[in-house]
Amino acid sequence: MRYDIAIVGSGPAGLAASINAKIRNKNIIVFGNNNASTKLTKAPSIDNYLGFENLSGVELKDKFMSHIKSMGIEITEKRVNNIYSMGDYFTLISGGDMYEATTVVMATGVEYGKMLKGEEEYLGKGVGYCATCDGALYRNKKVAIIGSNHEGEEDANFLREIASEVYYIPTYKMINKLDDEIKIIEDRPVEIKGDNLANKLVLKNQELEVDGIFIIKDSVSPKYMVPGLEVEGPHIKCDKDMKTSIAGLYVAGDCAGKPYQYLKSAGQGQIAVSSAISYLDKKRIKN
Ligand code: FAD
């Protein structure tokens, strides 16, 4: 099945994109999670979202989720690892699954923290962002997972079935769902070291000799997700219609640039979908 629009991200930008696409009767798939976004659920109080005053992030998230559910929109709880432009359409890869869509709206947010020292240098050389994609490379080897959310725990359990030893370094308050054999290390990651390939994770108080390191975060830099996409630092380059350097690919929310705000993100979600629909219409007329 080829979707009209694949929306990647379930924060305010992705959800606003999804309701607008649904209103325009488009065949969509929305990737993310049913908790919307940790950037929503972590906000103690929100006072700048038009129409609501003195609302907690969880309350705003509940309103968003109730809105999309009332419209019959479902979130596919999967992480998209790569998006490839195939010329006429896009292929989206999530672990071992593949999806096709004629247009894509990227609403993946931004990672507020900096990259770890050595992370960029060893990316693809012993450092990865997707355990289900690359886990098989570490059969009977030692791996470390730096997890910034509960998805890291799922990835650690998955790797436990393959690797000889799995270390889990949580950078968040975890509710432990890990297999007993996984070693939890409460320490702060500082640097990744290696020769040709990464082989050491330096933590504040110790060093781990490993064959591979997975870093599981809320969002990864778009340039690693979409080959050839033009970026400016952590942001995807776009015009006022939220059009990116790749035809058919649109962007919305924090990943499109500052300011980082809910209402701006939701507004851009709406613009990105309008632009995607104009693109679909033009394409239909041509064919
Ligand atoms: P996000 O909310 O970051 O959502 C992105 C979503 O995409 C996430 O669910 C993520 O898991 C998902 N995702 C990422 N990559 C993938 C992938 N590859 N595949 C599938 N899913 C993916 N702003 C305000 O206006 N007012 C406030 O009061 C306010 N308070 C804040 C308080 C805190 C503690 C924080 C952290 C932020 C606050 N902000 C506030 C900023 C606001 O949270 C962000 O600007 C907003 O959430 C951005 O929305 P977004 O949809 O672009 O991205």
Q: What is the pLDDT of residue 112?
A: 77
* Residue where one domain finishes, among candidates 177, 195, 216: 216
Give the confidence band of 149 by pLDDT, cuts at 50, 70, 90.
Answer: confident
Q: Which pairing describes strands 127-128 and 212-216: parallel, antiparallel, or unpaired?
A: parallel
Nearest atom, ligand 1, residue 42 CA:
34
Percent of the chain with pLDDT over 70: 100
Residue among 18, 16, 13, 11 at smallest CA distance from 32: 11
The confidence score (pLDDT) of residue 42 equals 85
As a whole-number percent, the residues of the chain with pLDDT over 90 amount to 80
Domain end (from 199, 216, 233): 216
108 lines ligand 1 (CB under 6 A): yes
Cα 171–Cα 232–Cα 236 angle in degrees, nearest 5:
80
Residues 251, 106: contact at Cβ < 8 Å? yes
**Predicted confidence (pLDDT) per residue in 98-138, tens digit:** 999 999 999 999 987 788 999 989 988 999 988 888 888 99
Of the candidates 216, 244, 261, which is a domain's last residue? 216
Domain identity same for 108 and 224 = yes
Distances (CA, A) of 129 to 150, 183, 213: 14, 20, 9
| Ligand 1 neighbour 222 (Cβ under 6 A) | no
On the question of pLDDT at 213 being above 80, the answer is: yes
- Whether ligand 1 lies within 6 angstroms of the CB of 265 is answered as yes
The CATH number of whichever domain residue 46 belongs to comes to 3.50.50.60
pTM of the full structure: 0.89
- The predicted pLDDT at position 224 comes to 86
- What pLDDT, in 10s, does the model give residues 160-194? 999 999 999 999 888 778 999 999 999 999 999 99
Which residue type, as a one-letter code, is found at position 191?
E
